[in-house]
Amino acid sequence: MKKFGLFLLGIGLFFFKVLAAVPDTKLERWLDTNYCKISTTIKQYDYAHYNLVTNRSDAPLGKDHRLGGATWSVRADVNEVPDRVDAIELCVTFQCTSGQIEQAAVSVNVDCGRWSADNYVLLPAVAYNGNKFESRRLRYSPKLYEVQDIGPDKPVIVTDILRLDKGDGFSRIQDRSGAFATPSVCFQSPLTRQGLIMLTEYGNDLGDYSLSIEEARNRENATISITSPCMREQYVYMNCDSRVPSWDKGRHFQTGDVVTVKLRLYGFKANRITDLFERFSEVRKDLVCGKLRNTLSYSTCQVIQESKFNAQNFVPEYGYYSVGMRENFLQDWQIGWTGGMISTYPLLFMGNEQTCQNVIRNFDWLFPDGISPSGFFWDAGEKGNVWLGGDIRKPHTANWHLIRKSGDAVYYIIKQLMLMESKGIHVKAEWKDGTRKVCNAFVKLWNENHQFGQFVDSQTGKICVGGSASGAIVPAALVLAGNYFKNDEYIRVARESGEYYYRYFTSQGITCGGPGDAMQNPDSESSYSLVESFALLYELTGDKKWLNYAGDAARQFASWVVTGNYSFPAQSLFGRAGIHSMGAVYANTQNKHGAPAICTASGVALLRLYRATGELFYLNLLQDIAHNITQYLPCKANPIGQVKEGWVCERVNMTDWEGVDRIGEIVGLSTWAETGLMLTTVEIPGVYIQPDRKMATAFDNILLKTAVKKNGTFVCELKNPSSSPVNVKILVENATERLRPFGENKLYTARTIHLKPQETKRLAY
């Protein structure tokens, strides 16, 4: 029997080699058209010296390897991709045919010719334009320090993140596949006017891959690699530090071991950077696509969060809602970004009489004392009567006001003033006057600088740190303010600043400056805020230019949204809780975690864009975020370890940026993600129904079935799968209604369907 087994193994290896040697004309044509070659590599590493490569074997695709006493055969199965004429799929299988090798890994390489240092390189949630920016090595929470870096007209400056070299030095990015919102390496070439997208999976039986791109010294070639198991050579990334000694471990391979790597390659015309994002948005789920997970309904979340905010966040002595548990000044009061006047909006929208009274007290507490001498809001505050201009932990930034905070505040305050009038609540003159004062400060800042900058001085209103898209929400805020106050100047500045942000940021594939703790690293927050601003400018003007701008911004934002359900370690907190990572939103290229929500927004602009265009991409992207968001709220019906009820952590850790043992783990903190969840439950309908298109989408955590009867009647069946009663907001629109501006507070008067536990109701149209 032993001899017979060896005979079969020999036969198998013979056919393995024969298949490996068969040329594939489809692949050859694709490679020639896109100036590429495919090769494979096997490397051996010295773990004692932080995974320094000690030995390697390189070969064209399909050729054998011999390394460190082991021999390998490589087979490549090539497949066409249905409905993707510009794509080719490869399934590359490595088999150790004899011997053994320790501390090793295998790689599939895409070697790219006709390369240029000017190529725009995208690694979703990891690098934008290859992160080729000025960089400073500063510890968290970083703020620019050197005098020469501070001022209104400085270039984008990032922290010590993974990046390609902007000069002629060693230029490589290596990262774990879980660090990517979509495991992918992409680029657009201004030289060839072509784009390339390489998609792969999060990993295989050996765990995560590592993905890399490396430019040659002469910058005329570059190599994209997928390596299994994950091996980062010499260094790994932790917060603000790209030079942490590597802790990855290679594999001990023996005779008979098999490793398979699957990838897809797309080659296409791409005259502009925005063309790359357009194609990426179309194919991002081709290989990695997760599933929705039903947990808590929106109405259940609202009850838990309203109770939590009133009991734990409200400070009755002064009358305001703190951001968190007041353990430090940033968790006490911030006007925007992480809570403040963002949080009061959903509380006013969904709250009972006591909650509404608390919100009114919050307005009385804020106005007029919460406005700094600059005319903008004070950046932060603590203990109810201490107003702060900026980050008091760093004396030179004690008056640096993050400009997006005042933008957030105006945007959500105007929404609340409109809602108060709908609810019959008296809007006080002090509230209006204070909001106008901040809007006027924005107009003054724009007229003097033709930018809003990132940080302004709370005393003088002068720009401290310029550039960036930190003020990305300001055009949206000024659209609402212009309409509400009947002020054409606000509208003018909204239009001019919107044009500025598109020209210098969206069209260049870069948005940055949204977070206050990540300098000018590319981020998802400013990316989404531009979607909101462009969408509102379209609804204001009806000009299709803004609709096109919004579409470009939305497709870039999609690159931050997780496409699949990452395999968290089985014994990790998220592994035990069964978390589905699809729809999580990566924060920025410095803080390498996903988040349960957009910081800090509901995503309603994506619904605006769907209504204006009918493109399902927007609706599906919103569903991923808005449906899966409720699973992160801990409560009796949805326990997450020992995390307190109602406390939503901002972390969805799919990579090891906080440490090798932190994947799938969180810290039990109360964070802005609670506000993101509340915004979602009041601005996004539970079910969106379009009878004339015979379609419906469930954003809420209910079961939805649709059917069309013989007489043309469209039937929607809604079932409550939980053990608690739920209330589901329904938004029904036909084609004519869908083309009207969405406006604000749309769901306040929307129809609500009550469902008992396990109850089913049918709606006919």
User: How far is it, in rounded angstroms, from Cα 539 to Cα 741?
Assistant: 5
pLDDT for 165-175, tens place per residue? 999 999 999 99
Q: Which residues pair with 65 in a beta bridge?
A: 72
Q: Is 60 exceeded by the pLDDT of residue 23?
A: no
User: How far is it, in rounded angstroms, from Cα 563 to Cα 291?
Assistant: 9
Q: What length is written for the chain?
A: 765
Q: Is 50 exceeded by the pLDDT of residue 6?
A: no
So what's the pLDDT on residue 318? 98
- The H-or-E segment that residue 277 falls in is helix 273-283
Residues 6+ apart with CB under 8 A from 408: 335, 336, 337, 340, 341, 342, 473, 477, 600
So what's the pLDDT on residue 269? 98
If we measure between CA atoms, which residue out of 138, 202, 131 comes closest to residue 521? Answer: 131
**Mean predicted lDDT score pLDDT of the chain:** 96
- 74-to-29, 105, 262 alpha-carbon distances in Å: 21, 14, 13
Residues 644-669: what's their mean pLDDT?
97
If we measure between CA atoms, which residue out of 302, 284, 516, 506 comes closest to residue 392? Answer: 516
Comparing 13-17, 155-159, 247-251, 736-740, the range with the smallest average pLDDT is: 13-17
So what's the pLDDT on residue 22? 37
Q: Is 60 exceeded by the pLDDT of residue 16?
A: no
Q: Are strands 594-595 and 687-690 parallel, antiparallel or unpaired?
A: unpaired
User: How far is it, in rounded angstroms, from Cα 216 to Cα 222?
Assistant: 6
- DSSP state at residue 312: I
Share of the chain above pLDDT 70, in %: 97
So what's the pLDDT on residue 249? 97
Residues 381-402: what's their mean pLDDT?
97
Residues 269-281: what's their mean pLDDT?
98
Q: How confident is the model at residue 155 (pLDDT cuts 50, 70, 90)?
A: very high
- The H-or-E segment that residue 504 falls in is helix 488-504
- Sequence-ordered alpha helix ranges (H) in 367-487: 403-423, 429-449, 474-485
Residues 41-61: what's their mean pLDDT?
97
So what's the pLDDT on residue 15? 42
| Alpha carbon 261 to chain centroid, angstroms | 26
Counting DSSP H helices and E strands in the chain, the numbers are 17, 38
For 308, the token pair is 């939590």
So what's the pLDDT on residue 21? 39
Residues 121-131: what's their mean pLDDT?
98
User: How far is it, in rounded angstroms, from Cα 248 to Cα 700?
Assistant: 40
Handedness of CA 283, 284, 286, 289 (dihedral sign): negative
So what's the pLDDT on residue 13? 46
So what's the pLDDT on residue 25? 87
Q: Is 90 exceeded by the pLDDT of residue 141?
A: yes
If we measure between CA atoms, which residue out of 225, 228, 245 comes closest to residue 237? Answer: 245
Is residue 476 classed exposed, middle or buried when 0-12, 13-18 and 19+ CB atoms within 10 A define those classes? Answer: buried
